Structure 1
Amino acid sequence: MTTTEVRRPKPWVRRPWVFPLGLLVTAFLVFSLPPYLGLDPAQSRIPAPTGWYYPVLVTHIGFATVAMVTCALQIWPWLRQKHPAVHRRTGRVYVFAGAIPASIAGFAIALAAPFGPVGAVSNVLLAILWFGCTVQGYRMARARRFGDHRRWMIRSFALCMSIISNRIWGVIWVMVLTPQLDTTFGGSEVALGQAIAGITTWTGWVLPLLAAEWWLGRGRRRAAA
């Protein structure tokens, strides 16, 4: 591209994922949030194993909701190109009122979650990686290393939205493993539930993160070519 040429933003029709992503996030939140809006532990979809678990769970859900909404806005190319100041402000909201507090609260509830040690290890790693990728992305933006900022924030985005992938994989593993209740799991519903939860949590965030790394590698290969 010569110095006289101007790079024009791609039209929205060439970003076909923007609208479906917003719709998916909206549908997920509309389905997931109502049981927790009344702050009634009896309505929780996750049984609280300790007295402090439910308040921290609600705290995590609240900050994670902010993270999902602002994260969807952050990767909207039109907003980033046409309104960079709004992009910066929503980015700070995502970091400081979304991802960082949500990952810290997520780390705490992962340690006490009633889904067995396999799921606990997965969720602890997820919280650590989400926190680390977000902080690194913010540091790169502050250093004006915007290429590195974009790469770290794509990873943060993949980890943030992995909760949606988690729900999809949960349904799949229920269908795959439930018929094995009397064979593989010896009739133990507890063992079956922990296996489903453990495999779901790992596939829920590992596969989106691998997809993000593939996407980033694809971009580097394209640039090299």
Structure 2
Amino acid sequence: MVKKAQFSILKGFWLLLFAYSCVLMAEITWRYHSFSLDANFLMIKQTEIEALWWYKYAFYIHVCTAILALPAGFTQFRSGLLKKYPQLHRRIGYVYVFSILGFAAPSGVLIGSVANGGLFAIISFELLALGWFYFTFQAVRLAVQKKFNAHEDFMLRSFALTCSALTLRFWKVILVYLFQPNPMDLYQIIAWLGWVPNLLLIEFIIYRKNHKLSNDYDLSRS
């Protein structure tokens, strides 16, 4: 009973943290609502805006669609929603998949190719965008094939990369507070910290989940 209560408290804490993070991301996104070419982050990307005709379009497509994936993806892992409202689960899933495959990941590849921090950071952001597209696409393919356990695994991987939008900013705050690094050095570090730990953690969770399923299956046969 105590363990169940502790789990509920921990789950509630993560829910509140995620909700708060989504609100912060919405606030950051709202700063670009005027589609100004010198708003916030774009103030340090004037060279790209002037030299690359497509940059401003790719940037705003990424900003406006990536934000949809956060709340949409989060609701997909609620077992109650899946069991009680399967139609709603699929519709939210369509929003998640369409926003990533159609817009957010492709635009991420484009803007990642000229990311701050040099080649080291560019490689990271390109791998992030390509991995995001691949994991999401595989999740769709497996759902069509009705391989739902593997579908869930790839959706978890996809969402781990979706959350890089949050974790990147958390790491940035932590590193600036503790070490006050050079801005370009900071970009090189958080480019990798934003998503690699997420993916490692989710791989561990997937392993534990599938290991438990395998043990349950063996017990049912014994």
Q: TM-score range by the shorter chain?
A: 0.7 to 0.9
- Given residue 186 of structure 2, which amino acid in structure 1 is its aligned partner? I
Match of 1:66 in 2: 68
| Residues 123 and 201 in structure 1, CA contact (< 8 A), matched pair in contact too | yes
Structure 2 CA distance for aligned equivalents of residues 156 and 169 of structure 1:
20
- Given residue 201 of structure 1, which amino acid in structure 2 is its aligned partner? A
- Given residue 172 of structure 2, which amino acid in structure 1 is its aligned partner? G
| Residues 116 and 187 in structure 2, CA contact (< 8 A), matched pair in contact too | no
Structure 2 CA distance for aligned equivalents of residues 21 and 84 of structure 1:
26
SS in 1 for 2:31: helix
Structure 1 CA distance for aligned equivalents of residues 21 and 91 of structure 2:
20
Q: What RMSD in Å do the two structures reach over aligned CA positions?
A: 2.3
Which structure 1 segments of 5+ residues have no match?
1-9, 182-191
- Given residue 24 of structure 1, which amino acid in structure 2 is its aligned partner? Y
* Cα 1:170–1:117 shift into 2, 3 Å: same
Structure 1 CA distance for aligned equivalents of residues 17 and 76 of structure 2:
12
| Residues 107 and 124 in structure 1, CA contact (< 8 A), matched pair in contact too | yes
Q: Report the identity percentage.
A: 29
* Cα 1:93–1:21 shift into 2, 3 Å: farther
Match of 2:190 in 1: 200
| Residues 21 and 72 in structure 1, CA contact (< 8 A), matched pair in contact too | no
Match of 1:212 in 2: 202
Match of 1:36 in 2: 32
SS in 1 for 2:38: helix
| Residues 160 and 199 in structure 2, CA contact (< 8 A), matched pair in contact too | yes
**Equivalent residue runs for 1:14-25 within 5 Å:** 16=12, 19-20=15-16, 22-25=18-21
Q: Does 1:50 align with 2:52?
A: no
Match of 2:219 in 1: none
Which structure 2 segments of 5+ residues have no match?
216-222
| Residues 99 and 160 in structure 1, CA contact (< 8 A), matched pair in contact too | no
Structure 2 CA distance for aligned equivalents of residues 32 and 131 of structure 1:
23
User: TM-score with structure 1 length normalisation?
Assistant: 0.82
Question: How far is 1:39 from its partner?
Answer: 0.5
Of 167, 170, 177, the match for 2:169: 167
Question: How far is 1:130 from its partner?
Answer: 0.3
* Cα 1:22–1:171 shift into 2, 3 Å: closer
Match of 1:7 in 2: none
Count residues with an aligned counterpart.
Answer: 204
User: TM-score with structure 2 length normalisation?
Assistant: 0.83
Question: How far is 1:194 from its partner?
Answer: 1.5
